[in-house]
Structures are given as C-alpha cells and as structure tokens.
C-alpha cells in the first residue's frame, strides 16, 4: 500500500476527482484535505509510523487551496487558534 | 377556518384550481427542502456522532442526478488510510 502511495505521489499531476465534492464549489474539498493531512500526521506519528503517505493530502490541498488560506490556517495552527478538529 | 373556506368554494367554484396549484407548489417546495435537509451530505445534524457526513460516501458513489463525462465505476479511494 505504501509503495503505491509513493508511486502516486511521484506521479502526481493534480488533485483527482473526488466523489464527495462533485460540484464546482471545491472549498470543502480544500478544507477536508487540509484537515486530513494534519489528522494523518497526528495519527501516524502517534502510532510511530512514517508520515510520508500523508504527503498525498498535502499535495492535494496545495493544488486546490488558495495560498492565502493555507498561510492563514498555518498561522492559526501555530498560534493554537485553528478552528478545525485535528 | 375550513368551514369558511368550504363555504367560499361552494359559491365560487372557480377558486378550486387555485388551491390545487398553490397547494401543489407548496408541497413540491416542502418536499425538496426536506430532501435537501435530510439527504444532502453537506448537512450535518448530529455534530457529535456524525460530524462530517460527506466522508461517509463511498469513493464511487454518485451524488449528482446527471453526471456527464464522469465514469463513476472506475473511481477508487485516493489518499492513504490513517
């Protein structure tokens, strides 16, 4: 499983179609992948596993989200004021 | 209230189609709104037990009514599990 994820990350071009978000408004797609990246990091490091597979979510949200949102959320995370459940 | 309406309808029977159409329109909007409220995966009623209902969809589940140019049978889950 991790081999195919590494392969997928290596061959990454853009965010693939996600059936959960089929419409034009991809806001939730961006936010969900941002959350999933941080949740994945938290879960895998709690189990002492390599967090490299989580990079898939990072590539996806970097493709989808506006840069200003990402920097804003990162700043909020550092300050501890991020509103999402991670 | 219903007695007054029934009396008015008896003296003005042309009002009956009005009731039919307005009642039908109200029924249609109510059913659509309740369908949206209950079936839409973006809506979360129970924040404690089901906070993100869109995550309960399968990766090849079609939500739209007409999906042009999208082969849903070939989709798989993309990201890693954790």
Is A13 part of a structural domain of the chain? no
Query: For residues B7 and A17, what is the distance between their CA atoms, to the nearest angstrom?
Result: 59
Is B82 part of a structural domain of the chain? no
Collapsed DSSP state (helix, strand, coil) of residue A76:
helix
Is A26 part of a structural domain of the chain? no
pLDDT of residue B42: 87
pLDDT of residue A4: 80
- Measure A80 CA to nearest chain B CA, in Å: 21
Within its chain, how far is the Cα of A51 from the centroid?
Answer: 12
* Per-residue pLDDT reduced to its tens digit, A13-29: 999 888 889 889 999 99
Question: Which domain does B55 fall in, by range?
Answer: 46-77
Cβ-contact A51, A44 below 8 angstroms: yes
Same domain, B1 and B35: yes
> CA-CA distances (angstroms) from residue A36 to A12, A29, A30?
18, 10, 10
| More confidently predicted of A67 and B43 | A67
Same domain, B35 and B50: no
CB contact under 8 A, B78 and A32: no
Q: Residue A81 maps to which CATH number?
A: 1.10.10.140
Give chain B positions within 8 Å (CB) of A56: 78-80
pLDDT of residue B58: 82
Task: Round the average pLDDT of chain B to a whole number and report it.
Answer: 86
Would you say residue A8 has pLDDT above 90?
Answer: no
pLDDT of residue B79: 66
**CB < 8 Å from B in window 8-37 of A:** 8, 16-23, 28, 32-33, 36
* Per-residue pLDDT reduced to its tens digit, A14-72: 998 888 898 899 999 999 999 999 999 999 899 998 888 889 899 999 999 999 999 99
Overall domain count for chain B: 2
Query: For residues A30 and A64, what is the distance between their CA atoms, to the nearest angstrom?
Result: 5
Is pTM beyond 0.90 here? no
Q: For the residues B33-42, what does the mean pLDDT come to?
A: 90
Within its chain, how far is the Cα of A77 from the centroid?
Answer: 14
CB contact under 8 A, A19 and B54: no
């Amino acid at each position: 499983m991790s081999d195919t994820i590494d392969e997928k990350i290596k061959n990454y071009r853009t965010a693939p179609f996600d059936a959960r978000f089929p419409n034009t408004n991809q806001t939730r797609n961006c936010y969900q992948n941002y959350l999933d990246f941080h949740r994945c990091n938290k879960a895998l490091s709690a189990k002492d596993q390599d967090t490299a597979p989580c990079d898939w979510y990072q590539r996806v949200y970097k493709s989808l989200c506006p840069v200003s949102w990402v920097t804003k959320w990162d700043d909020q995370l550092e300050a501890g004021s991020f509103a999402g459940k991670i | 209230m219903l007695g007054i309406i029934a009396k008015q309808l008896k003296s003005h029977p042309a009002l009956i189609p009005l009731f039919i159409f307005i009642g039908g329109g109200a029924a249609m909007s109510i059913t659509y709104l309740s369908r949206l409220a209950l079936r839409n995966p973006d809506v979360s009623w129970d924040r404690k037990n089901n906070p993100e209902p869109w995550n309960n969809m399968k990766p090849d589940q079609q939500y739209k009514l007409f999906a042009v140019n999208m082969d849903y049978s070939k989709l798989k889950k993309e990201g890693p599990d954790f």
